[in-house]
């Protein structure tokens, strides 16, 4: 099959460079090459940044009415074209159709928030702070924002960033993840159709070289990063060195406690969705369950029965509920961690290591079937690190106290959940747990778009969470303006100017 190398998108046009390195894009369900993505040169990135700066100078002073009208148009186009967008996510990311449409729906929440950005941009105003002296605040755009995103949500994660950044008056340079870049090109075209002036949303593809240049470039004022923790730390250090504002969201290893008083059928249903949805490749996936006391055996039995019933296969069949993982490298790592845990005494209750769907053309795909591993030693990589695959680790605890100690002992603190019917235990858990997003009988507690998303510990480097009011704060800078007119009171002496009189 002939494949096309994805063009970059600069100043409202596709742009192709000659003589640069091209990486292949493959379909994880089949292993077939479906396209290519070029590593942008530093000259191209310079050009994208220079024109973004020019466009932003005008956009930052464009009325809120005009800016939000673009967001309303963009929202409508996303809804009308969601099938086309989902097709690309299925082809390049290997997602099921349900997961692809689901991420577009969750991303839409942020566009909807951006449609009403006026409310979030209102300032404070104090009259008569001193006699005849008033004080107020304004928020202005930061300038040009670099957006660097992971492979696992090619639509939703960028949508945590660009609608917020654009509505608050910034320009955006988006660097998509190399395995799944082309949906970002379609998004750029939708923005143009929605009436966004050229230059404000640039798509510059590539990998480390482009990221490094973005971190060093003085023409980028802020970086929004979502990806693994090691790269989040590189981004944070790079931004600190060059004085850029940054938000850097990292990896995760989310736990749920299941108490003996939980409704176990309900818990099993939701744990299966949390552990195996999107093939476990979510930063809010649920790879670890800590089963307390008597909950353990009946829970495993129920989770196993549901996991075995999942329809696993390529996203080209909309009935499938679980697709492949992103790459052969990822598949090999997941399987080697399961092997290692098994060798150290874990019990593989449901084994997806040799799974292949019975579908023509999928032999070269990166398949791991739903896997449940019980009695996992806490020092194994399978327990301690981010597995990012369709694997559920089960750990047993004798009491709530032991369970919460296990949950809080990990290096990550993105999301965490408890399944219980006891309000007092649930309340205790929400206060005790060291995580940024907490679910009470909700396995994937991703906040709605008007709250902010972000974890604790190694799941968030620095302290800027994403979207909601924290997103508005990140993409804007405040000024405090103190005003006095000659006819008013409060004229101080040299050195004091005015005092609160």
Residue 458 binding ligand NAD, by CB under 6 A = no
Q: What is the dihedral of CA 72, 77, 80, 86, to 10 degrees?
A: -120
Residue 6 binding ligand NAD, by CB under 6 A = no
Write down the least CB distance from residue 442 to ligand NAD, Å: 17
> Which residues, in sequence order, are CB contacts of 418 under 8 Å at separation 6+?
256, 257, 258, 259, 425, 426, 429, 433, 439, 440, 441
Closest CA to 417 of 435, 397, 443, 452: 443
DSSP reduced 3-state for 130 = strand
Q: Find the binder of ligand NAD among 70, 85, 110, 231 (CB under 6 A).
A: 231
Cα 139–Cα 145–Cα 150 angle in degrees, nearest 5: 130
Counting residues that bind ligand NAD (by CB under 6 A) gives 27
Residue 242 binding ligand NAD, by CB under 6 A = no
Judged by CB, which is closer to ligand NAD: 228, or 425?
A: 228
Write down the least CB distance from residue 312 to ligand NAD, Å: 21
Residue 446 binding ligand NAD, by CB under 6 A = no
Residue 459 binding ligand NAD, by CB under 6 A = yes
Judged by CB, which is closer to ligand NAD: 170, or 459?
A: 459
Residue 150 binding ligand NAD, by CB under 6 A = yes
Judged by CB, which is closer to ligand NAD: 169, or 471?
A: 471
Judged by CB, which is closer to ligand NAD: 250, or 274?
A: 250
Q: Find the binder of ligand NAD among 46, 87, 134, 207 (CB under 6 A).
A: 207
Residue 113 binding ligand NAD, by CB under 6 A = no
Closest CA to 419 of 401, 395, 400: 400
Residues of span 373-402 touching ligand NAD by CB under 6 A: 386, 388
Inter-residue contact 235 to 148 (CB < 8 Å): yes
> Which residues, in sequence order, are CB contacts of 115 under 8 Å at separation 6+?
68, 71, 72, 75, 167
Pattern 152-191, binding to ligand NAD, x per CB under 6 A? Answer: xx---x-----------------x-xx-------------
Q: Find the binder of ligand NAD among 48, 117, 211, 279 (CB under 6 A).
A: 211
Residues of span 277-336 touching ligand NAD by CB under 6 A: 283
Residue 426's Cα: distance from chain center in Å? 27
Judged by CB, which is closer to ligand NAD: 28, or 250?
A: 250
Residue 149 binding ligand NAD, by CB under 6 A = yes
Query: Which residue in the block uniquely carries the two structure tokens 């107020």?
Result: 136
Q: Is 384 a catalytic residue?
A: no
Backbone phi, then psi, for 325, in 5-degree steps? Answer: -90, 175
Region for residue 118 given its phi and psi (left: phi exceeds 0; alpha: psi -120 to 50; beta: otherwise)? alpha
Judged by CB, which is closer to ligand NAD: 420, or 459?
A: 459
Query: Which residue in the block uniquely carries the two structure tokens 């800078």?
Result: 477
CA 74 → CA 13, 86, 195, 475, distances in Å?
18, 16, 8, 20
Binding site for ligand NAD (CB under 6 A): 148-153, 157, 175, 177-178, 207-208, 211, 226-228, 231, 234, 249-252, 283, 386, 388, 414, 459
* Enzyme catalytic residues: 283
């Amino acid at each position: 099959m002939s494949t096309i190398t994805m063009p970059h998108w600069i100043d409202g046009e596709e742009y192709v460079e000659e003589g640069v390195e091209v990486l292949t894009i493959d379909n994880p369900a089949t292993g077939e090459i479906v396209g290519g993505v070029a590593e942008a040169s530093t000259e191209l990135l310079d050009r994208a940044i220079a024109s973004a700066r020019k466009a932003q100078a005008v956009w930052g002073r464009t009325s809120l009415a005009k800016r939000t009208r673009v967001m309303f148009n963009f929202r409508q186009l996303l809804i009308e074209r969601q099938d086309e967008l989902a097709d690309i996510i299925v082809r390049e990311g290997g997602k099921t159709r349900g997961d692809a449409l689901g991420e577009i729906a969750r991303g839409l929440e942020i566009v909807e928030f951006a449609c009403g950005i006026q409310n979030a941009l209102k300032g404070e105003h104090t009259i008569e702070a001193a006699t005849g002296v008033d004080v107020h605040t304004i928020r202005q755009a930061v300038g040009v924002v670099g957006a660097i995103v992971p492979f696992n949500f090619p639509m939703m994660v960028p949508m945590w960033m660009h609608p917020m950044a654009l509505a608050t008056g910034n320009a955006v340079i988006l660097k998509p993840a190399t395995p799944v870049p082309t949906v970002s090109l379609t998004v750029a075209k939708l923005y143009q159709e929605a009436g966004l002036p050229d230059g404000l949303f640039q798509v510059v593809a590539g990998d480390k070289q482009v990221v490094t240049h973005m971190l060093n470039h003085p023409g980028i004022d802020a970086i929004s990063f979502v990806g693994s923790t090691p790269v989040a730390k590189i981004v944070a250090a790079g931004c600190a060195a060059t004085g850029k504002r940054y938000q850097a969201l990292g990896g995760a290893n989310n736990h749920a406690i299941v108490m003996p008083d939980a409704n176990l059928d309900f818990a099993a249903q939701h744990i299966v969705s949390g552990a195996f949805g999107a093939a476990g490749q979510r930063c809010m996936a649920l790879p670890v369950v800590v089963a307390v006391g008597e909950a353990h055996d009946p829970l495993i039995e129920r989770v196993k029965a549901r996991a075995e019933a999942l329809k696993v296969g390529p996203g080209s069949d909309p009935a499938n509920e679980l697709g492949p993982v992103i790459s052969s490298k990822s598949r090999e790592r997941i399987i080697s961690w399961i092997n290692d845990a098994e060798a150290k005494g874990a019990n593989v209750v449901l084994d997806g290591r040799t799974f292949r769907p019975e579908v023509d053309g999928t032999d070269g795909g990166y398949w791991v079937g739903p896997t449940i591993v019980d009695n996992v030693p806490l020092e194994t990589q399978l327990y301690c690190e981010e597995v990012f695959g369709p694997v559920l680790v089960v750990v047993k605890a004798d009491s709530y106290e032991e369970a919460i100690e296990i949950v809080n002992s990990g290096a990550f603190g993105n999301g965490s959940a408890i399944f219980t019917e006891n309000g007092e235990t649930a309340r205790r858990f929400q206060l005790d747990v060291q995580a940024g997003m907490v679910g009470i009988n909700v396995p994937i507690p991703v906040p709605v778009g008007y709250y902010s998303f972000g974890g604790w510990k190694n799941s968030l480097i620095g302290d800027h969470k994403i979207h909601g009011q924290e997103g508005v704060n990140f993409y804007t800078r405040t000024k405090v303006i103190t005003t006095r007119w000659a006819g008013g009171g409060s004229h101080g002496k040299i050195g004091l100017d005015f005092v609160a009189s």
